């Protein structure tokens, strides 16, 4: 799971960021909501954790801009404002959940998980292309009903490519999706994981094409024929 976390309080942000990372999630931490709409138009996140009291554009105004732009990323608002009318304003602006500071980290993690489960209820648990099936619930990949073992990063790259079937994705987009901005891997990480996937999925009716100078594109050769 990839999370975008926006909090300007360094101490609270550091503790929260560390707690989220312990779950194995990719977490990108920003200190302001500047350019938030542009960021979410270009990159996919599973959850946005958004503080209300931010410098410049505050969380409520940023959320209004997101929803007006048609961006439906699930949002959990974080705020010290605990009045009922404050919660109503947050939910009315398009927030999916609301957590008042100070909060217990265990509750934050539980709410993030619950928010993702609610969102996933409206999304299929399987992704297929040709004879390849990715079971998102069981975290398993099958080629012609034969289970293929993938390492977590390989799984993440394949999932990202399947979410972008027929579109060219750059190496940088792949790396951002599976590592996050603050945990840069080696320069050739994208090539390494794509090479491993090609080898492991050699019997699959898919093709991970290299688009020179741009990146990679996942296609079904049968569809092209």
Residue 181 has pLDDT above 80, yes or no: no
Confidence of residue 225 (pLDDT cuts 50, 70, 90): very low
Q: Which CATH architecture group holds 2-120?
A: 3-Layer(aba) Sandwich (3.40)
Residue 85 has pLDDT above 90, yes or no: no
Q: What is the pLDDT of residues 196-217, one digit of tens each?
A: 999 999 999 889 999 988 899 9
Reduce the secondary structure of 200-223 to three states and give it as a string: HCCCCCCEEEEECCCEEEEECHHH
Q: What is the pTM of this model?
A: 0.64
Q: Do domains 2-120 and 126-224 have the same CATH topology?
A: no
β-pairing verdict for 132-135 and 126-129: antiparallel
Mean local confidence (pLDDT), 117-129: 70
Q: What is the pLDDT of residues 11-55, one digit of tens each?
A: 999 999 999 988 888 899 999 999 899 888 888 888 999 999 899
Q: What is the pLDDT of residues 126-180, one digit of tens each?
A: 888 889 999 877 788 999 989 999 998 898 899 889 888 888 988 888 887 777 6
Residue 147, burial from CB neighbour count under 10 angstroms (0-12, 13-18, 19+): exposed
Domain boundaries, the chain: 2-120, 126-224
Q: What is the model's pLDDT at position 121?
A: 53
Burial 66-97 (b: 16+ CB within 10 A, else e): beeeebebbbbbbbebeeeebbebbeebbbbb
Return the biggest CA–CA distance within the chain: 61
Confidence of residue 223 (pLDDT cuts 50, 70, 90): low
Nearest to 43 by CA among 3, 96, 94, 93: 3
The larger pLDDT score, comparing residue 88 to residue 14, is at 14
126-224 has which CATH code?
A: 1.10.10.10
Q: What is the model's pLDDT at position 123?
A: 52
Nearest to 1 by CA among 18, 26, 33, 20: 26
């Amino acid at each position: 799971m990839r999370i975008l976390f926006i909090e300007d309080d360094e101490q609270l942000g550091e503790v929260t960021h560390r707690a989220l990372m312990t779950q194995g999630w990719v977490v990108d931490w920003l200190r302001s909501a500047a350019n938030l709409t542009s960021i979410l138009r270009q990159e996919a996140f599973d959850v946005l954790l958004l503080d209300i009291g931010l410098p410049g554009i505050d969380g409520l105004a940023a959320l209004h801009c997101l929803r007006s732009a048609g961006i439906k990323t699930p949002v959990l608002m974080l705020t010290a404002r605990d009045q009922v009318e404050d919660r109503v304003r947050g939910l009315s602006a398009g927030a999916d959940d609301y957590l008042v500071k100070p909060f217990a980290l265990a509750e934050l993690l539980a709410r993030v998980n619950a928010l993702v489960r609610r969102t996933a209820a409206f999304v299929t648990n399987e992704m297929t292309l040709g004879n390849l099936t990715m079971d998102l619930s069981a975290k398993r990949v099958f080629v012609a009903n034969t289970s293929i073992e993938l390492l977590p990063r390989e799984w993440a790259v394949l999932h990202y490519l399947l979410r972008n079937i027929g579109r060219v994705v750059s190496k940088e987009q792949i790396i951002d999706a599976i590592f996050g901005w603050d945990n840069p891997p080696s320069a050739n990480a994208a090539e390494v994981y794509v090479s491993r996937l090609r080898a492991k999925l050699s019997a699959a009716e898919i093709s991970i094409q290299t688009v020179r100078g741009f990146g990679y594109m996942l296609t079904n050769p049968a569809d092209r024929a």
